[in-house]
Amino acid sequence: MLFTYNDITRDVVETPDVCIIGSGAGGAVMADVLSSAGLDVVVLEEGGYYTKDRYSTYKPAVAMKILYRDYGATVAFGKNPIILPLGKAVGGTTVINSGTCFRTPDNILRDWAERFGVQNASPREMEPFFEQVEKKINVTPVSPEVLGKNGLVFKRGADALGMSNGMLRHNMINCHGCGRCAFGCPHDAKQAVHLNFIPSALEHGARVYANARAEVITLESGRVTKIQGSILNEKTGNKLYNLSIAPKVLVLAAGAIYSPYILQKNAIPASPELGRNLTIHPAVRVTAMFDEIIQGYKGVPQGSYVDAYASEGIMLEGIFVPPEIGLPILAPIGQESKEAARRYDHLAAYGVMVSDKNSAGRVKVGIDKRPFITYHFDPYDFKKLIKGIALASEIFFAAGATTVNPGIFGIGEFTGPDDVAQLFTKKIPITSVEMMAFHPLGTARMGEARDHTVVNSYGKVHDIGNLFISDGSIFPTSLGVNPQVTIMSFALRNAQHIVDNKGTLFA
């Protein structure tokens, strides 16, 4: 059963085989596999339970308030603060991501084995898990019919320059191309985990508690014995009832920010590496004006890609947002705002995302007892970002753009391809670039090299007998691609490991 705060009238006390904290890509898959194997599973989700019948009626700005943590304004602090949006709902960030699906690159899997001792996760060994996940969430290429003109004009430019590009693969069925992926799909076309893995887990007897915040973890003799928390009023955030779970195994699947935070807050002796090594795929938006009408808010926002420089850690992927989100960013007030609204239909946008090979961040418990995120953007990775901005600008001009805005303070709009060269001749401080990031990873690295990792090759925390982590925090390095399929596939693999070893784990 799935319970929201409206369904609960007293304190909740459970003694399941497995408690899972978090219901996103890692938690939902764990819940499905473990419950289908006959284990008694309870899932705790701090966010609410939202369906298309609820969020399809909300405007994007309102959807952000209910589906995102911190209204979409979680920040990684450094020389240049970086916005890091996180989902908070049953289904986690899969409800509000763009739906892009990549397998873990082969070279990344090999690197994890060589440098961190990750076992039994070679490209060949991961293949069946990728296949199962892709089938379950219906991964398919975006069709030109729903791509939208924003993606089509960028593809036109990339083709003109001979740059490798294509349609991204998404978890979707009967996409309408409405452009609302990041605000909750109003048609249930995007196959977020609350539409597949969660319902399957419920069919197998799992119990999912929405509006349920885990707060205190008790550890005795090297094993988790109890999780205590609160049932929250969804509208006010106030505590309604107590929550007490005494599981045989705890799976922490709260994401690369909140999984280490929960352990740190409870002084769980996981590893000195816990909370360190954060990677986030720094990204920027490059926009362009065209004489022709684009209407970029129609179609799949992140439907196409250019991977010509993926080997250097640079990926270009489509982006766009509805006018009520985009216009305040372009020009919030005055005559400029009116002009931006008038020209919005002629605007195109594309994202530049880099693999943060040398950069790293950290998650700690802040003085306000909330997660405090810091991030150092290495100059080497920043150079990749600038190169990505140059590539996107050149592609837009090749597609026929009249002007291109690189999104860098102190550098005006480009009026032609020759202007792009100034990106390499002028000194550009990191603080001048407007950045976001979307894929926090790495704060609880996996592997058998215990000095450099937090969990073993199957997600079990070193030296704690019944504590697993199942989210993006366990990946030792940046992926260079969108991570949801990787998170789900490793969750599938690691859940099967728990099933195969339940006799030992539950002893």
- Residues marked active site are found at 439
CA distance 344 to 331: 11
Contact (CB, 8 A) for 177 and 145: yes
Residue 425 neighbours by CB distance under 10 Å: 7
Q: Which residues pair with 306 in a beta bridge?
A: 165, 316
Q: Which long-range contacts (CB under 8 A, 24 or more apart) does 118-123 make?
A: 118/446, 118/447, 118/448, 118/457, 118/476, 119/448, 119/457, 120/457, 121/457, 121/490, 121/493
Task: Give the residue carrying structure tokens 């090297």.
Answer: 222
Distance CA 210, CA 304 (A): 34
Q: How many CB atoms lie within 10 A of CB 294?
A: 23
Report how far apart, in Å, the C-alpha atoms of 423 and of each of 136, 389, 416 are.
Answer: 44, 8, 13
Q: Residues 230, 24, 105, 438: is their CA dihedral positive or negative? A: negative
In whole angstroms, give the CA distance from residue 55 to residue 72.
16
Provide the angle, in degrees to the nearest 10, between the axes of the packed helices 484-500 and 123-136: 110
Looking up tokens 């007030």, which residue turns up? 333
Q: Which amino acid, residue 66? A: I
Distance CA 109, CA 121 (A): 7
Cβ atoms of residues 265 and 482 within 8 Å: no
Identify the residue whose tokens are 């990946």.
Answer: 475
| Amino acid sitting at position 372 | F
Length of the chain: 507
DSSP 143: P
E-strand spans in 96-197? 139-141, 165-167, 169-171
Q: Are 29 and 261 in contact (CB under 8 A)?
A: no
